[in-house]
Structure 1
Amino acid sequence: MEIIPFGTNDIDNILAREPARAESLPFGAVLLDRMGRIAKYNKAEGLIAGRDPSTVIGRDFFNEIAPCAKGKRFHGEFLKFNRTGQANVMLDYKFNYKGAEVAVKIHLKSQPDGQFCWLFVKRA
């Protein structure tokens, strides 16, 4: 099985066909519904964020899990997905994590059905 690199254009299709592959990604992957609730939170993101993935499923990503992600640009791009069901944007972002700014690359990519959006996170 080949490694899926960060920023792969058809990653949404790959994960739609083979959802278990999200666990083997070498970067964080969070699947959000259109309201921002977490449907999937991979092990890599759990290690990065210091969270047990099983404890965040069903919770509001922007209000409960990562309120630091509510910055205008990041959250604004998610709100576009919320309205349209479409997203495919990469951006540089700085999270405030445990009192320090952490530079990351974010890839928001909607699934083909338009009901869910992958949030891929890679430390910059």
Structure 2
Amino acid sequence: MDAPDRDQLPFGVVGLDASGIVVVYNATEAHMAGLDRDAVIGVSFFDAVAQCMNNFMVAQRFEDEALLDEIVPYVLTLRMRPTRVRLRLLAAPTEPLNYILIER
């Protein structure tokens, strides 16, 4: 999917390379998180952007599981009041990026 189509999705899309660096950050997520896309691209997602996901439920799953397609109920707590979301964690050894889809 190209960037303009991703930006039209009603949920957040974050694409990470193997080291957790943000490569894809759609407009919906930028708006909902209140973060400028240009400030997020190229930054370590779990260390600098979404430290509240740097735990066994999210970040560790990408390290431990080469193949991942899981929906996780979650509560975001960083930079905002606690917000219930559903995360879809996607990873495959044949794909260059891992994805976190965020439905608020």
TM-score for both structures, normalised by structure 1:
0.75
Q: Is the contact made by 1:91 and 1:107 (CA closer than 8 Å) also made in structure 2?
A: yes
Pairing partner for 1:33 from 17, 23, 33? 17
CA distance in 2 between counterparts of 1:110 and 1:73 reads 14
Pairing partner for 1:52 from 17, 36, 40? 36
Q: Is the contact made by 1:111 and 1:118 (CA closer than 8 Å) also made in structure 2?
A: no
Report % sequence identity.
27
| Equivalence map 1:30-109=2 (5 Å) | 30-81=14-65, 84=66, 86-98=67-79, 100-109=81-90
SS of 2:86's equivalent?
Answer: strand
AA paired with 2:75?
Answer: K
Give aligned pairs, total. Answer: 103
Gaps of 5+ in 1: 1-17
**Greater fraction of residues in helix:** 1
SS of 1:54's equivalent?
Answer: helix
Gaps of 5+ in 2: none
CA distance in 2 between counterparts of 1:91 and 1:32 reads 18
TM-score for both structures, normalised by structure 2:
0.88
Alpha-carbon RMSD: 1.7
Q: Is the contact made by 2:50 and 2:78 (CA closer than 8 Å) also made in structure 1?
A: no
Q: Which has the larger radius of gyration?
A: 1
Pairing partner for 1:113 from 89, 94, 101? 94
Q: Is the contact made by 1:74 and 1:93 (CA closer than 8 Å) also made in structure 2?
A: no
